[in-house]
Amino acid sequence: MAYQHRGNGRGLSRAFSAPVRAVSKVLPRTTSSVTPPRPPSRPERSSIVDCGLYVQGVRQPGEWDYRDALAAALERDDAFVWLGLHEPDVDEFADIAQTFDLHELAVEDAVKSYQRPKVERYGEITFVAVRTARYVEHAELTETSEVVETGAVMLFISPHFVITVRHGDACRLSPVRQELETKEELLAQGPWAVFHAVVDRIVDLYLDVASEMEQDIDEVEASVFSRAGDDRVQRIYQLKRELVEFKRSVVPLARPLNALVSGRIPGVPSEIRRYIRDVADHLSRTVEQVVTFDDLINSILQARLAQLSVDMNNDMRKIAAWAAILAVPTAIAGIYGMNFTHMPELHWMFSYPVVVALMLGICVGLYRIFRRSGWL
């Protein structure tokens, strides 16, 4: 669901009037080339991964400082800035937020590593939070194996810039930028083309994770229903936990994408909306797989617990059967061990072999009865 925030009275033109005057002869209307800007001064541990200025879908040469790039983009209707960040801290992001006139609530969400997938509007700026996921290769699935690694990507989208904030390494955006820069016609659609490329890459990773997890589930299922049936419950439960984490990333994303496809979020070009609809279709397929996997793992877990219960009952029956068999010689020996003076057959010559034979006969008979009934 989108939320409209209209209380922001700050304007982009007022915030960037000074940087605009500092850039001379920027971007003539008849050409897409610009004069390379001065090299930016960045701190030693900068969270800025890349900053590019794009005009008519073509990246302009040179290494751009985001202030100069924004000032240049504001001079044209067909230019925008793509600023990529990786896990920025509060201090560094504060200057970026002031430069791009970002709302403080969106900035607070972008700095945090975990956000539920959502889309919100702050004036002309759209804030989108997406959860990322990546399958972690493992030689053997154990009760401590990490199956899914998750992260987050937040996007600030306006007519003249797009800022991507990445948390974690589940989805790197450098390959997305490189691939998108080869599609000038699509990139000319503006910042929303970047959004489509990023989300499309994230959903493709969802499909890869679902495919790999399906193999893990098939392996666990085959182990549980094999003749041995000795799969540990902890291993199944760990796979269930990893699937729940993956589900929290995939399922909530459907609502923001539907809001963008349906046109409830203004500013999205109609051409890009068709591309987003294709991404939403792929996401729907992943959601169906995740829901199916969840039901299947629940069934596998219940089946394994039922197996354990049956095994426990079998063990208890075996213990009870052997206890009944051993109770016969124990009772007879206890009776003749009371040492009374007057007892039948106490002084008979064949008392011992007869009693031993009687105990063995009764024990063998009970064993055959329990064996025939399946208790042994």
- When pLDDT is averaged across residues 77-96 and rounded to a whole number, the result is 91
pLDDT tens, residue by residue, 295-336? 998 888 888 777 777 778 877 888 888 888 888 888 888 877
Beta bridge partners of 157: 126, 162
Give the pLDDT confidence score for residue 228 in this predicted structure: 66
Using 50, 70 and 90 to split pLDDT, how confident is the model at 22? very low
Alpha carbons within 13 A on the beta-carbon side of 338: 10
What sign for the dihedral angle of Cα 157, 162, 168, 170?
positive
Edge-first strand order for the sheet with 4-5 is 4-5, 118-122, 125-135, 148-158, 161-167, 79-86, 48-55, 58-59
Q: What is the tens place of the pLDDT at every residue in 185-229?
A: 999 999 999 999 999 999 999 999 999 999 988 888 888 877 666
The one-letter amino acid at 298: N
Q: Which residue has the tokens 């959004």?
A: 195
pLDDT of 54 strictly over 90:
yes
Nearest CA to 278 out of 209, 343, 363, 200 is that of 200
Each residue's pLDDT tens digit, 134-178: 999 887 777 788 889 999 999 999 999 999 999 998 899 999 999
Closest CA to 275 of 349, 216, 330, 194: 194
User: Rounded CA gap, 131 and 167, in Å?
Assistant: 9
CA atoms of 202 and 208, how far apart (whole Å): 10
How many other C-beta atoms lie within 10 A of the C-beta of residue 361?
Answer: 11
Nearest alpha-carbon partner for 136 in 149, 150, 126: 149
Residue 299 CB partners (closer than 8 Å, separation 6+): none
Give 36's pLDDT tier (boundaries 50, 70, 90). low
d(CA 75, CA 20): 8
**Model pLDDT, residue 309:** 79
Query: Of 9-18, 99-108, 175-184, 324-333, which gets the smallest average pLDDT?
Result: 9-18
The size of the chain, in residues, is: 376
3-class SS of residue 120: strand
Domains of the chain with CATH codes: 4-306 (3.30.460.20), 310-373 (1.20.58.340)
Q: How far is CA 76 from CA 47, 53, 63, 232, in A?
A: 28, 11, 19, 63
The rounded distance, in Å, linking the Cα atoms of 180 and 270 is: 19
Dist. CA 295–CA 74, nearest whole Å: 51
Q: What is the C-alpha separation between 171 and 202, in angstroms, rounded?
A: 7
With beta carbons less than 8 A apart as the criterion, state whether 251 and 288 touch.
Answer: no
The pTM (predicted TM-score) of the whole model is: 0.73
pLDDT in tens, 337-360: 777 776 776 677 777 788 888 888
- DSSP-derived secondary structure letter, 56: T
Greater model confidence, 82 or 34: 82
Q: 290: closest CA among 340, 348, 251?
A: 251
Task: Indicate if the pLDDT at residue 16 is higher than 50.
Answer: no
3-state secondary structure of 50: strand
Give 253-304 pLDDT, tens digit per residue.
Answer: 999 999 999 888 888 988 899 999 999 999 999 999 999 999 998 888 888 7
For residue 277, the one-letter residue type is R
